[in-house]
Amino acid sequence: MTNFLDPAILFFIFGVFAGSVKSNLEIPPQISRFLSLYLLMALGLKGGFALHKSGFTSEIAFSLGLAIFLAIIIPIIGYLLLRRTLNVFDAAAIAATYGSVSAVTFITATQYLDQFNIDYGGHMAAAMALMESPAIILAIVLANKARASQSNDPTVKQEASSISKILHESFTDGAQLLLLGSMVVALVSGDAGQKLMAPFSIDLFKGMLAFFLLDMGLMAARNIKGLRGKPPITLLYAIGSPLSHALLALVLCKLIGLPLGNTILLMVLASSASYIAVPAVLRHALPEVNPGLYMGMSLGITFPFNIILGIPLYTVIAKLFL
């Protein structure tokens, strides 16, 4: 219940309401972009300052390794499941969407843990960055292979065998570079840098997050329409996959012995779905797929579910299990 009283969550719910009643309330794209970059910079700084204090440990190495493993295994499982009822392109697009991560869901989760004084490692911001690209690359490879098998054009086959452009775009994405770069800046500047940046990265953070979640609520209400007439599996997957992915992360974290805070954040990352990085790539890389499909699922259903119910639910489950 406490999560519903959080101003940021209430602004998200308000945004969903405003979008549902077709209000003309909107956040200009440039401001929305700025808010996104601000949140990533602030998160990177927070993670870097925490790493400066803790140093690099075996626990951090295990956490990052598990994050990469989840980023690879989740889209593979998703694709194999979805391929039974959907065509190869739709299955690949959805698998990439749910194999990648949502930075805003992660940021909201860190705020939730801070509110209840649950400690977590600053390196989890790096884990989020590492989990963003593998699913995208996998989806492009699967789609390219499908095109090559369906075409007799040598040019198509040649393009299918080369994914260097996709790799470059995935690993040099501006938002991801900003996150990692901010962590490096914080690591180098240390305690002195933390004091200087506190008014920017800490004091303003909650208000900026609330403003951004208002915009996300508006977008969620508008994107849910993209699921009209879609196969039932898409609706089931949009709710069922976050829960199953979170439980998979929980079991693996238990086996490795990760602490509660890091476990919850890995559950959140595993359960989240991308609605920024993946759509930006797939619009051009998989033109065969209607963006309304994966945007409607990730932003219209999974994102609201995780923000309102998922984060507190995963926290309760992790406490009981650990």
* pLDDT tens digits along 144-180: 777 776 665 555 445 544 556 656 655 666 766 787 8
- Average pLDDT taken over every residue of the chain: 85
* Assigned token pair, 190: 């240390």
pLDDT tens, 26-65?
889 899 889 888 988 888 888 888 778 877 788 889 999 9
12-21, 119-128, 133-142, range with the lowest pLDDT: 133-142
Q: What is the per-residue pLDDT for 161? A: 44
* For the chain, domain boundaries: 35-213+228-321
111 class by beta-carbon count within 10 Å (0-12 exposed, 13-18 middle, 19+ buried): middle
Tell me the percentage of the chain whose pLDDT exceeds 90.
Answer: 41
Amino acid identity, residue 14? F
What's the CA gap between 216 and 89, in Å, rounded?
27
Return the number of other C-beta atoms located less than 10 Å from residue 17's C-beta: 14
Range with top average pLDDT, 131-140, 230-239, 282-291:
230-239
**Alpha helix ranges (H) inside the chain:** 7-20, 29-54, 58-82, 88-99, 103-115, 124-130, 134-150, 154-160, 164-171, 174-198, 205-223, 232-256, 260-271, 277-285, 291-297, 303-305, 311-321
Question: Which architecture, in CATH terms, is 35-213+228-321?
Answer: Up-down Bundle (1.20)
Decide if pLDDT at 291 tops 90: no
C-alpha distance from residue 186 to each of 29, 35, 50, 211, 296 (Å): 28, 20, 9, 25, 36
Q: What is the pTM of this model?
A: 0.81
Decide if pLDDT at 128 tops 90: no
The band of 280, judged by pLDDT with boundaries at 50, 70 and 90, is: low
Return the number of other C-beta atoms located less than 10 Å from residue 231's C-beta: 14
Q: Nearest to residue 108, comparing CAs of 128, 136, 135, 132?
A: 128
Q: What is the per-residue pLDDT for 264? A: 97
What's the CA gap between 99 and 241, in Å, rounded?
10
